[in-house]
Amino acid sequence: MELETYIVNAFADAPGRGNRAGVVVSPEHPPEDVMQIVAADIGASETAFVAPEERAWNIRWFSPLKEMSLCGHATLAASRVLFGKEPLIDSLVFRYAGGILPVQRYPDDSIGMDFPLDDYMRCPPVAAFDDFFGPLRVTDCICGRRTGKVIIVTDEGTDLRTIAPDFNRMVEYRGLCGSGIAVTKASSVYDFESRYFNPWAGVNEDPVTGSVHTVLARYWSERLEKKTLAAFQNSSRPGELLLTVGDDRVEIRGKARIVLQGTFFP
């Protein structure tokens, strides 16, 4: 078996920035155990596997440890690969277990992905957060109803880059935030900034994360009373996202760059 494989920096258009994703394109999906092995060997936070399906593309996402229900940055990476293979098209559709994800390419070569907007509920901060992050001023705490992702809101004066999580304590924890946890704040340059951690999926820090922005978009849209939001994920490999919020959908828009192309031999 030979698999056409790419490494793509998502939500960035330069080396060393954005979220590195694997993309595997094949006539049909390999067996699940093979996809998991490939994702573990590629070692990116997620690898997208895409295969053609009735004028669309079936997509599945795997972290190094398990299959994921939704992944924004790997979808963006897969879109960049497919638009490169078919330069005359400006739209495509992905099918996944939860429905469809329409994708649009814009004249500036950015790519917009139409994702379901996640609602949220407020949840009280738990004592384990202090174990994870040390002293952190928490002004709000929410949990995505669909994604299960926990988001801690802190004040604008917090420097997110100084947060140094204790990943050993995090991965041992079994409770509220087993689907991942973000820290976010309002920003003087963007509308908001964030960082996102998910050692429970084998990814200590995910540099730029589309799926958590399905929750962040609703929260900050309501708080700032804006439908278009500029977001910045302030990791060591930072990235920018443009969010357009509708009633139950959000367009997550960004750029991506292919940095490696080759063949994987599982």
Residues marked active site are found at 46
Q: DSSP characters for 90-101?
A: -EEEEEETTEEE
Look up residue 55 and give its two tokens. Answer: 């004028």
Q: DSSP characters for 116-140?
A: EPPPEEE-PPPTHHHHHHSS--EEE
Instruction: Quickly count: other Cβ atoms within 10 Å of residue 104's Cβ.
Output: 15
Query: What 3-state DSSP class applies to 146?
Result: coil
Using CA atoms, how far apart are residues 68 and 47, in angstroms rounded to an integer?
10
The residue type found at 261 is Q
For CA atoms 30, 34, 37, 38, give the dihedral sign: negative
Please name which of 132, 9, 169, 120 lies closest in space to residue 74, comparing C-alpha atoms: 9
Contact between residue 193 and residue 212 where contact means Cβ atoms under 8 Å apart: no
Query: What 3-state DSSP class applies to 217?
Result: helix
Using CA atoms, how far apart are residues 161 and 45, in angstroms rounded to an integer?
20
